[in-house]
Amino acid sequence: MAWLERVPDPEIPVVSIVDLGIVRAVHCEDGVCEVTITPTYSGCPAMRAIEDDIVNVLKAHGMTQVRVVTRLAPAWTTDWMSERGREALRNYGIAPPRERAVDISGIVRRADPDVPCPQCGSMRTRLISAFGSTACKALYRCNACGEPFDYFKAH
């Protein structure tokens, strides 16, 4: 697990796949490893790269055989993101996901979540677009400091 903590997410390199909550289980015995991962979003194009990175890192540490298994259930949630991961996102300029107190389920429309600006901390922010540069993010702008920023959606 410690080795995998140094595998960065391919699209957000400041966060490791462990801190994102993608790695669900690791089992190593006599140089043979089985790593269970769960996809973030169904169509996340980074999953293939993540599998390759896991194999490469473990082989570099002397593992002879590495198998990566994908598990769908239970579905990944941003609740699994570590505190260290959230802090790293904030320092990188991406607002981390709000806690689960923000209701993300259901079909009924509701107000956009209040998200503090990762630059100046102001709560005077507004949603610009439901999707940002990747499926896991939305685009906000801070009305206090004027900076646009990505928000890693609670999911």
Binds another protein by CB under 8 A, chosen from 1, 32, 120, 128: 128
Question: Distance between CA atoms of 91 and 139, rounded to whole angstroms?
Answer: 17
Is 20 a binding residue for another protein by CB under 8 A? The answer is: no
Q: Judged by CB, which is closer to another protein: 62, or 106?
A: 106
Measured distance CA(113)–CA(4) in Å, rounded: 32
Residues within window 41-70 making contact with another protein, judged by CB under 8 A? 41-45
Q: Applying CB under 8 A, does 131 fall inside the site for another protein?
A: yes
| Min dist. Cβ of residue 6 to another protein (A) | 27
Tell me which residues in 134-153 interact with another protein (CB under 8 A).
134-135, 139, 153
E-only strand ranges, 43-116 = 65-70, 94-95
Query: How far is the C-alpha of 67 from the C-alpha of 127, rounded, in Å?
Result: 41
Of positions 2, 29, 60, 74, contacts another protein by CB under 8 A:
74
Is position 73 an interface residue for another protein (rule: CB under 8 A)?
yes
Q: How far is the CB of 16 from another protein (least distance, A)?
A: 22
Q: Is 146 left (phi over 0), alpha (psi -120 to 50) or beta?
A: left
In this structure, are residues 14 and 88 in contact, taking their beta carbons and an 8 Å threshold? yes
- Starting at the earlier edge strand, list the strands of the sheet with 137-142: 94-95, 148-152, 137-142, 125-129
In the chain, % helix, strand, coil (3-state, to 5) comes to 20, 25, 55
Rank residues 50 and 88 by Cβ distance to another protein and give the closer one: 50
**Footprint of another protein on residues 80-119 (CB under 8 A)?**
104-110
Enumerate the β-bridge partners of residue 94.
150
Residue 62 vs 74, nearer CB to another protein: 74
**Which chain residues interact with another protein by CB under 8 A?**
39, 41-45, 72-77, 104-110, 128-135, 139, 153, 155
